[in-house]
Amino acid sequence: MLKLMPLPHSYISVQGCTFPADFKGAWTTTVDGEILVNATHVFNYPIVSRTSGQPFKAGYSRMNFSCVEKQDSKYLLR
C-alpha cells in the first residue's frame, strides 16, 4: 500500500534564485528551437522522450521552469 503524506513547509525551499545576466535572452538551437530565459525563469523548454528523442505527442510538449535554488554553479529548477 502506498501512503502519500504532505511535506512540512520546512522541507520545501521557496527562497528562489536568479540566473547570471549572460544567461538571459532568447536562445536558439537546431534541435530544441527557441528557449527564453529571464532573471528567474526558463520558458518554452522542450519535453522529449528519452528513448526516441522525439517530442511527446500527447500532453505538454514544452514547459516553463522557475529557478528555485542555486548552489555553486548548479541551479535547481521547478
Tens-place pLDDT, residues 24-38: 999 997 777 899 999
Specify the pTM. Answer: 0.68
Return the beta strands (E) in the chain as ranges.
25-29, 33-37, 41-46, 62-71, 74-77
Q: Give CA–CA dist 35/43, Å, rounded.
A: 6
Per DSSP, the three-state class of 11 is helix
The confidence band for 14, taking pLDDT boundaries of 50, 70 and 90, is: low
Give percent of the chain above pLDDT 90.
23
Residue recorded with cell 532573471: 39
Radius of gyration of the chain (CA): 16
Q: Mean of the pLDDT values across residues 63-72?
A: 89
Establish how many alpha carbons lie within 13 A of residue 39's alpha carbon, considering only the half-sphere containing its beta carbon.
Answer: 3
Per DSSP, what are the bridge partners of residue 64? none
